Structure 1
Amino acid sequence: MISFKSHSGIYSLEVTQFLKISLTEAWNFFSSPGNLSKITPKHMGFEITSGSPAKMYTGQIITYKVSPFPGIKTNWVTEITHVSEGMFFVDEQRFGPYRMWHHEHHFEAKDDGVLMTDRVSYKLPLGFLGRMAHSLFVKNQLKQIFVHRETCLESMFR
Structure 2
Amino acid sequence: MKIYTLHKKQKLPITMDQAWDFLSDPANLKIITPDYMGFHILSGADRPMFPGQIIQYIVTPVLGIKTKWVTEITHIKDHQYFVDEQRFGPYALWHHKHFIREIDGGVEMEDLIDYKLPLGVLGQLAHPILVQPKLNEIFEYRTQKLEALFGTFKGKS
- TM-score, with structure 2 as normaliser: 0.94
Q: Which has the higher contact order (CA 8 A, sep 6+)?
A: 2
After the TM superposition, which of the residue ranges 113-122 and 67-76 deviates more from structure 2?
67-76
Q: Unmatched 5+ residue regions in structure 1?
A: 1-7
Rounded to whole Å, the distance in 2 between the matches of 1:80 and 1:135 is: 28
Q: Structure 1 residue 155: deviation in Å?
A: 0.5
Q: Count residues in correspondence.
A: 151
**Unmatched segments (≥5 aa) in structure 2:** 152-157
SS of residue paired to 1:83: strand
Question: What do you get for the CA RMSD once the two structures are aligned?
Answer: 0.8
Residue of structure 2 in register with 1:66 after alignment: 59
Bigger strand share: 1
**Alignment partners' CA distance in 2, 1:127 and 1:50:** 31
Which deviates more, 139-148 or 50-59? 50-59
Corresponding residue for 1:91? 84
1:66-108: CA deviations, max 9, x gaps?
0011320010000000000000000000000000000000001
The TM-score with structure 1 as length reference comes to: 0.94
Residue 154 of structure 1: which of 147, 151, 156 is its match? 147
Return structure 1 stretches of 4+ with deviation > 2 angstroms: none
- % identical aligned pairs: 52
Distance 1:59 1:51, change over 3 A: closer
